Chain A
Amino acid sequence: MCQALTEHLAEDIEALTDLETLLIAELRAEGIVLWRVQRDQNGTPCARRSLSAEPWSALYNDGVLSGQEFRRITRPRTGSRIVYVAAAPDDRNAAETMSWLLSADPDAATFQCTTPVEDVLRDVIARSPLIRWYDLVVLRRTRSGRPMLLTKRLFPPGATSGDRESFTVQCARSDMHGTAFAVVSSRSKERGFELVSLQSAKIPPGTYQLTAELRRPGVVELHNVPVELRDDQRSWLELIASVPERLERVRASHLVCLVEASGTGDQVSARFDRVKQLLESIASQGDGQVTVSVISYGSHAVDVGDQDDTPFVALWAGTVDGAIAVIDRLARRGARPIRYTRAAQLECALAETAKRLDDDLGRLALVTIGHRPPFPPKVDTSEIIPCPRRHDWHTALRRLSEHPGAKFGAIHDNDPDDQVWKQLGGHAHAELSTGAFNPRSFAAKLDLTTTGADSVPFPLILAEED
């Protein structure tokens, strides 16, 4: 690559204003090729070459260069600059022309470079800094539920190829076109926006941590999008028209499933089946803001000398699809042995949840699936042996209830009047033994789905007041 030419073009292009044109005359063996570099509406430098080379025969008459003709061909418009590149030094016509030019206009910007100007320009333009702000178009739900179209800042003026910016967005349910990622440019916040790129994909609802990478001016690549983005041909007006009048409250939820894995094979299999149905319902109907954790638990060893174990955290803060895979694995593993028929480690599973819970993952939806009551923290008249870790289900459940917006659902085959299961199923409950289970209704009661919500064409961001 010709270093001097590259540096000169980089400076010229960076200084190029919206109204200017940079002209590059490439003197080739076949004639003169003209390149015009201008900024488009986004401030992106664009280079266009003449349709064909102007042949030397048009400039030479009986072997003599017509300076007038050369000036006519390479004459820049008002306010534009021109750069001459001798691309074929061995060609007699090209060499003579460059020689004439140097004598006629000693201040002309002339360079000798055998690398095609096209390659030099591509490299220079790719590395040229932005002169506009680049933003991503997003939606935000206002307090009143109305959608507000705004932008998420990606790159400032001066950003160059390779710069990255990470951010979190939520993707709600979308229509057949998918969620649109529109990158726009602006001179300032107050000025209007111009569309830089528009891509979309049918992305599963959920919260995504994305990274935008500036590949070159005019090209922004989004990383960590779960589905490949494709160019979207919709017009801006079409997109705006598809924004619903109201946005349902989108609240991130953390669904924690506590599954009693000891019992008969049929019981345990039925419990995992119910959890899977619930997760599948959320996957198909949910608003996607659901993080899932799965804890399976059995019974404590109550006899002295028996090895006790703790509830198994099979998944913490995973995706709905990940949770379904985990449930399948647990179901294949089968039932844990019943070591003690009168209680299960429910209190330890609740305590583990209370210990791990992080409100940043969203409001809690606790779903407990099982049969037996928890172990008490100390001897009581139930004569159930106390929990060896002295966990108290009352305390753990109270701590969980204190999380804002927490909701509790239970699927059980126990006495429906049992105090523990009553509390665990405070917002939604179903009985395992009846066989009738409506996962959609169950999920809706726990606010894990927003039934009937309109599709949302842009990614969403949460505002502080949400």
Chain B
Amino acid sequence: MTQSIAILGAPVSGKTTFLAALNIALARQNEGWKLVGADPASSERLVTLTHQLTERSYPKATSGIEQFSWMLVGQTMRTERRRWFSPKQQHMDTVKVRLDLADPSGEVANRTRHALRDELIKNLVASHGLIFIFDPISEFERGNTFRYTFSVVAEMAQLMFETPEFSDGYLPHYVAVCITKFDEIRIFRTAEHSNLISYDPDDHGFPKVDNDDAREFLAQLCKVSKTRNAELVINTLEQYFRPDRIKYFVTSAIGFHVDPITETFNLSDYQNTVRDEANSAQGPSAYARIRGPVFPINVIEPFEWVSRQPILTAGG
């Protein structure tokens, strides 16, 4: 059976970069899972995005409207007991999860484009789960996450209002809220000051925020958003989706800079984004590039979590 996961996020929240990072994270994990394009355009886009990220360039924000579809393909172990008295048996199942990235530039959410917006909402409604990208930096600077989230979720609710899945007053989707850009100084420092950092005992010793603490972390971040509306995002999500079907993840698409000599995380020097200026005929312009190797953090986990969830109906 093919599941479907939709990726949702405010304009310029890094959805494309996040997906490109997923491909790199799967390659680093090397456990058989892979990302493939569901059509030639999506395959080509996947190759381009991955190439850009490994070449230390941030994918450019998509201009115009594009719609891509990728398949997350892998195998999972399934345990089955045919009769209650017979022993359990394990089976390898091939799992395919369809990832729909609609509205990459965020512009579809503009009400002037009704037809495409209708399609987006239908896709979201039809999906098994949602990956909701929350970019704290973008929220600091633009403060538009709540407006975007509320409008999309409200329309989903409107569309499902008459369906049995909405009988308990909640949308039936599983929602993985990905708080991105953990590698950014301001985000990392907020986690530090909130005493939410722990360190992975892996080779690189990367810091992390446990998923159980991620909601609290998001609450902390929301307090410093530009419009102070960011905390409404949590409320909105938990009003429209069953709170037990929402899970929070603190993630980073590019990860932290790794000391080239020790190959470990260094608390004094962990920036993996280089902000610089480029000169052109129009004069200098600011841009960002990736400093070193990409080590995505907590990027696979949201997809794993959503894809592991049973397809349930309202109240189920």
Contact of A390 among B268, B270, B289, B293 (CB under 8 A): B268
Contact of B284 among A305, A341, A390 (CB under 8 A): A341
Q: Which of A336-382 contact B (CB under 8 A)?
A: 340-342, 377-381
B186 on the A face (CB < 8 A): yes
Q: Given A341-B276, A381-B185, is A304 in contact with B268 using a C-beta cutoff of 8 Å?
A: no
In the complex, residue of chain A having the shortest beta-carbon distance to the beta carbon of B290:
A303
Q: Which of B184-208 contact A (CB under 8 A)?
A: 185-186
- Assess whether B269 is in contact with A379, with CB atoms less than 8 Å apart: yes
Q: Which residues of A contact B56 (CB under 8 A)?
A: 303
Contact of A302 among B185, B267, B274 (CB under 8 A): B274
A303 to B269, CA, bound (A): 13
- Chain A CB within 10 A, most for which of B186, B260, B276, B277: B276
Number of interchain pairs (Cβ within 8 Å): 47
In the complex, residue of chain B having the shortest beta-carbon distance to the beta carbon of A381:
B185
A386 on the B face (CB < 8 A): yes
- Assess whether B268 is in contact with A381, with CB atoms less than 8 Å apart: no
B275 on the A face (CB < 8 A): yes
Distance in Å: Cβ of B15 to nearest Cβ of chain A: 23
- Assess whether A379 is in contact with B271, with CB atoms less than 8 Å apart: yes
The secondary-structure label for the interface of chain A is loop
B292 on the A face (CB < 8 A): yes
A380 to B270, CA, bound (A): 10
- Assess whether A303 is in contact with B274, with CB atoms less than 8 Å apart: yes
A385 on the B face (CB < 8 A): yes
Contact with B along A371-412 (1 / 0, CB 8 A): 000000111110101101010000000000000000000000
- Assess whether A303 is in contact with B291, with CB atoms less than 8 Å apart: yes
- Assess whether A379 is in contact with B268, with CB atoms less than 8 Å apart: yes
Count how many chain A residues have C-beta atoms less than 8 Å from C-beta atoms of the other chain. Answer: 17
Q: Given A303-B292, A304-B260, is A342 in contact with B268 using a C-beta cutoff of 8 Å?
A: no
A340 to B267, CA, bound (A): 22
Distance in Å: Cβ of A391 to nearest Cβ of chain B: 12
Distance in Å: Cβ of B85 to nearest Cβ of chain A: 59
- Assess whether A386 is in contact with B269, with CB atoms less than 8 Å apart: yes
Q: Which residues of A contact B277 (CB under 8 A)?
A: 341-342
- Assess whether B291 is in contact with A304, with CB atoms less than 8 Å apart: yes
Q: How large is the interface on B (under 10, 10 to 19, 20 to 34, 35 or more residues)?
A: 20 to 34
Q: Which residues of B contact A379 (CB under 8 A)?
A: 185, 268-271
In the complex, residue of chain A having the shortest beta-carbon distance to the beta carbon of B284:
A341
- Assess whether B268 is in contact with A340, with CB atoms less than 8 Å apart: no
In the complex, residue of chain B having the shortest beta-carbon distance to the beta carbon of A339:
B276
In the complex, residue of chain A having the shortest beta-carbon distance to the beta carbon of B278:
A341
In the complex, residue of chain B having the shortest beta-carbon distance to the beta carbon of A342:
B276
Q: Which of B255-298 contact A (CB under 8 A)?
A: 257, 260, 267-271, 273-277, 284, 289, 291-293
Q: Which residues of A contact B270 (CB under 8 A)?
A: 379
A388 to B261, CA, bound (A): 11
- Chain A CB within 10 A, most for which of B185, B269, B284, B291: B269
Q: Which residues of B contact A377 (CB under 8 A)?
A: 268
Contact with B along A283-305 (1 / 0, CB 8 A): 00000000000000000001111
The secondary-structure label for the interface of chain B is loop
A380 to B276, CA, bound (A): 16
A377 to B268, CA, bound (A): 8
- Assess whether A378 is in contact with B269, with CB atoms less than 8 Å apart: yes
A324 to B109, CA, bound (A): 65
- Assess whether B186 is in contact with A340, with CB atoms less than 8 Å apart: no
Q: Which residues of B contact A385 (CB under 8 A)?
A: 269, 271, 274, 291
Q: Which residues of B contact A383 (CB under 8 A)?
A: 185, 271, 273, 275
Q: Which residues of A contact B275 (CB under 8 A)?
A: 342, 383
Q: Which residues of B contact A304 (CB under 8 A)?
A: 257, 260, 291-293
Q: Which residues of A contact B185 (CB under 8 A)?
A: 379-381, 383
- Assess whether A381 is in contact with B186, with CB atoms less than 8 Å apart: yes
In the complex, residue of chain B having the shortest beta-carbon distance to the beta carbon of A378:
B268
Distance in Å: Cβ of B185 to nearest Cβ of chain A: 6
- Chain A CB within 10 A, most for which of B267, B271, B277: B271
Q: Which of A289-342 contact B (CB under 8 A)?
A: 302-305, 340-342
Distance in Å: Cβ of A309 to nearest Cβ of chain B: 16
- Assess whether B291 is in contact with A302, with CB atoms less than 8 Å apart: yes
In the complex, residue of chain B having the shortest beta-carbon distance to the beta carbon of A383:
B275
In the complex, residue of chain B having the shortest beta-carbon distance to the beta carbon of A303:
B291
Distance in Å: Cβ of B288 to nearest Cβ of chain A: 9
A380 to B186, CA, bound (A): 9
A385 to B56, CA, bound (A): 16
Q: Which residues of B contact A388 (CB under 8 A)?
A: 269
A390 to B269, CA, bound (A): 9
In the complex, residue of chain A having the shortest beta-carbon distance to the beta carbon of B184:
A383
Q: Which residues of A contact B269 (CB under 8 A)?
A: 378-379, 385-386, 388
Q: Which residues of B contact A380 (CB under 8 A)?
A: 185
Distance in Å: Cβ of A400 to nearest Cβ of chain B: 23
Q: Which residues of A contact B267 (CB under 8 A)?
A: 378
Distance in Å: Cβ of A245 to nearest Cβ of chain B: 59
Contact with A along B52-96 (1 / 0, CB 8 A): 000010000000000000000000000000000000000000000
Distance in Å: Cβ of A371 to nearest Cβ of chain B: 12
Distance in Å: Cβ of A304 to nearest Cβ of chain B: 3
A368 to B6, CA, bound (A): 56
Q: Which residues of A contact B268 (CB under 8 A)?
A: 377-379, 386, 390
In the complex, residue of chain A having the shortest beta-carbon distance to the beta carbon of B257:
A304
Distance in Å: Cβ of A312 to nearest Cβ of chain B: 23
Q: Which residues of A contact B284 (CB under 8 A)?
A: 341
Distance in Å: Cβ of A264 to nearest Cβ of chain B: 9
Distance in Å: Cβ of B284 to nearest Cβ of chain A: 7
Contact with A along B138-167 (1 / 0, CB 8 A): 000000000000000000000000000000
A381 to B56, CA, bound (A): 22
Q: Which residues of B contact A305 (CB under 8 A)?
A: 260, 292
Q: Which residues of B contact A340 (CB under 8 A)?
A: 274, 276
21 contacts between A and B (CB under 8 A): A302-B291, A303-B291, A303-B292, A304-B291, A305-B260, A341-B276, A341-B284, A377-B268, A378-B267, A378-B268, A379-B269, A383-B185, A383-B271, A383-B273, A383-B275, A385-B269, A385-B274, A385-B291, A386-B268, A388-B269, A390-B268
10 smallest beta-carbon distances between A and B, as pairs:
A304-B292, A378-B268, A341-B277, A386-B269, A341-B276, A383-B275, A302-B274, A379-B185, A379-B271, A304-B260
Apart from A304-B257, A379-B271: 6 A-B pairs, beta carbons within 8 A? A342-B275, A381-B185, A383-B271, A385-B271, A385-B291, A386-B271
